[in-house]
Structure 1
Amino acid sequence: MTFSLVGRCAETGMFGVAITTSSIAVASRCPWARAGVGAVATQNVTDPRLGNQGLDLLEKGMSAPEAMNALMAKAHSPEHRQVTMIDAKGRTAFWSGAKTLGTNNVAPGEDCVGAGNLLQNPDVPAVMAKVFAQSKGRHLADRLLLGLEAGIVAGGEMGPVHSAGLLVVHEQSWPLVDLRIDWSDDNPIVRLKRLWEDYQPQMDAYITRALDPNAAPSYGVPGDMGDEK
């Protein structure tokens, strides 16, 4: 019911996940990332516990393949799970259990790994990974969204998708980008891209407000004394 792209920017050290599905609120349970550590996507019949558990193993110093083996060895009902992972060195790992739904596939690429289930065709993950690799030099969020869009063009899911999410972490303990479309009868990826385009110009200001409020720009809303500066 889902396809996703997990990626890393080798230049900035950012990690992120872009994901979409036919179900509601996919971003609330499937994408996981931790600054300086890596990123995980857990999908198909989702067990959200696997996200933080996988990141904990990476943070202990395991490579992505080592962490995936340890994670799935203890996972509940692993035959139902589809999980992808990338570590701080760009190494990837993946798992697709025997009961992963419909046409499914996984495609590791340079600093990324794409995966999906209930797909129109098995080429979707490889197309996403290829587009991600071709978009070096752009912000990681842009690259992830470009890959997700390419997945739709390549066939996407068997049915329409209704929710999508974009998660990117960088230097702080909280996400740099955490955007989602929890339900849309139209293409949620288009709406997610517009949301990212609106958010990006304000993104750094929210970091400054957290770390150094006195140097932060105003919110520019009625009643904000800073808007007089």
Structure 2
Amino acid sequence: MPPFSSFFSLRRLLVAGALLLTAAAAHAQQVYAYHDPFAHTFSIVARDAKTGDMAVAVQSHWFSVGTAVSWGEAGVGVVATQSFVNKSFGPRGLALLKSGKTAQQALDELLATDDGRDVRQVAIVDSKGNVATHTGKKCVDMAGHQQGPQFSVQANMMLNATVWPAMATAYEQNAAQPLPERVLAALDAAQVAGGDIRGRQSAALLVVRGQASNAPWDDRVVDLRVEDNPAPLKELRRLLQLQRAYDHMNAGDLAVEKNDMPTAVREYQAAEKAFPQNLEMRYWHAITLANKGQVAEAKKLLLPIFKQEPNWRTLTERLPKVGLLTVSEAELKQILALK
């Protein structure tokens, strides 16, 4: 057992340590609330000068990063809010843009009311292509950003300071690519340059139209997230390719509604080519051929589908009732008899 005097010396040290911790915690609360996401990451915000579409894309070693960092609204702009994230910067930033503020004016107003501005990193692009970016002086190294014509790249807690310049270079060098592929090229370049010092876990890609339409449910051109994956950028590219295929599927379905079978066949073929492993794309291509009177060609496509998954045969029986399969009764029997 320690001497009496030693006991009180130890107690004084413990009390002093507790006071220091309390003071540190109080200071931390001034800049960071416990409920704010801890999303250290790299991202890009950009506007396509040709189409007006706007994108925000991000990768991080953090679960479901897209639900915290990426925000956008058609005809308004896009926002990336990261580091010690103030999530309100997303909806509030968009509201400020919608009220007529420029990207810089919106950013200035957001930061003016935020005691944690020194640990924030924020980037905004508005519908006119104006850009504004902030990297707080207390963001974890390596941290920084770089702006270019109608885009900004930003990163914090990176392995090295070459990450965001590599992103800017990749984005500019891929100007011929569609906007989604172009911003993904920037993310790929960031990872090659070293990326997040902690590794990788999730990613997101959001693209909104340059002008809002009367159908706001269609104004998000791309809205993809990889919540938890050892190679999130690879998975995000796979999902984008899959969306491209389904875009063709949807166009094919629309053509069928309009009884434009040549267009439907072209769209279904494009979908099948983009994602050949998908049975549904091959199936609807076959059904469209059958409705055009090309039953023999349709049967060639349907046979391996029925063998791989018998439920497609059952579905085929149900299509004539709702007018999605218009073959004769004899032709339907031939199709259902495929072995």
TM-score for the superposition, normalised by structure 1? 0.89
Partner of 1:228: 325
Greater share of strand: 1
Please say if 1:94 is aligned against 2:191. no
What secondary structure sits across from 1:128 in the alignment? helix
Residue correspondence of structure 1 range 47-196 to structure 2 within 5 A: 47-75=86-114, 77-170=116-209, 171-172=212-213, 173-174=216-217, 175-184=220-229, 186-196=230-240
Identity of aligned residues (%): 32
What secondary structure sits across from 2:125 in the alignment? strand
Please say if 1:32 is aligned against 2:71. yes
- The Cα RMSD (Å) is 2.6
What secondary structure sits across from 1:228 in the alignment? coil
Counterpart AA for 1:168:
V
Counterpart AA for 1:11:
K
Q: 1:227: Cα distance to partner?
A: 5.2
Measured in 2, the distance between the counterparts of 1:74 and 1:95 equals 14
Q: Residues 82-105 of structure 1: CA distance to partner in whole angstroms, max 9, x if unpaired? A: 100111221211112232122101
Measured in 1, the distance between the counterparts of 2:55 and 2:256 equals 27
Which ranges in structure 1 are unaligned for 5 or more consecutive residues?
A: none
Q: 1:74: Cα distance to partner?
A: 1.6
Question: Structure 1 99/138 Cα, relative in aligned 2: closer, same or farther at 3 Å?
Answer: same
Q: Residues 36-66 of structure 1: CA distance to partner in whole angstroms, max 9, x if unpaired? A: 1111100011121111111111112221111
Measured in 2, the distance between the counterparts of 1:5 and 1:54 equals 16
Q: Residues 120-177 of structure 1: CA distance to partner in whole angstroms, max 9, x if unpaired? A: 1122112112211221232110001011001111111112110000000115534111
Q: 1:208: Cα distance to partner?
A: 9.8
Measured in 2, the distance between the counterparts of 1:162 and 1:15 equals 24
Measured in 1, the distance between the counterparts of 2:107 and 2:160 equals 26
Deviates more, 1:90-99 or 1:168-177: 168-177
Counterpart AA for 1:98:
K
What secondary structure sits across from 2:97 in the alignment? helix
Q: Residues 6-44 of structure 1: CA distance to partner in whole angstroms, max 9, x if unpaired? A: 111011110011101001000111101111111110001
1:6 to 30, 42, 45: 45
Counterpart AA for 1:164:
A
**Structure with the larger RCO, 1 or 2 (CA within 8 Å, 6+ apart):** 1
